[in-house]
Amino acid sequence: MEQLTIVKIGGNIIDNPAELEQFIADFSKIEGYKVLVHGGGKSATKMAKSIGLVPQMIDGRRITDQPMLDVVVMIYAGEINKNIVAQLHANGTNAMGFSGADGNLIQSTKRNHPTIDYGFVGDVQKVNTSLLETLLKNEITPVFCAITHDKQGQLLNTNADTIASELAIALSEVFKVTLTYCFEKSGVLYDAEDDTSVIENINKELYDRLKTEGAIHSGMIPKLDNCFNSLSKGVHKIKIGHHKLLKDNNALCTSITL
C-beta of residue 100 within 8 angstroms of C-beta of residue 144: yes
Confidence at residue 10, expressed as pLDDT on a 0 to 100 scale: 87
Residues belonging to the binding site for substrate are 40-41, 62, 157
Which distant-in-sequence residues (6+ apart) come within 8 Å of 252 by Cβ? Answer: 186, 187, 198, 200, 241, 242, 245
Confidence at residue 64, expressed as pLDDT on a 0 to 100 scale: 97
Residues of the chain with pLDDT under 50: none
Angle between helices 81-90 and 17-28 (to 10 degrees): 50
Fill in the DSSP letter of residue 59: T
Residues belonging to the binding site are 40-41, 62, 157
Mean pLDDT taken over the chain: 94
Q: pLDDT tens for residues 206-229?
A: 999 999 998 888 878 888 999 999
Q: pLDDT tens for residues 26-70?
A: 999 999 999 999 999 889 999 999 999 999 988 767 899 999 999
Closest by Cα among 61, 163, 169 to 108: 163
Q: What is the pTM of this model?
A: 0.95
Q: pLDDT tens for residues 228-237?
A: 999 999 999 9
Which distant-in-sequence residues (6+ apart) come within 8 Å of 218 by Cβ? Answer: 57, 59, 60
Q: Can you list the domains of the chain with their CATH numbers?
A: 3-256 (3.40.1160.10)
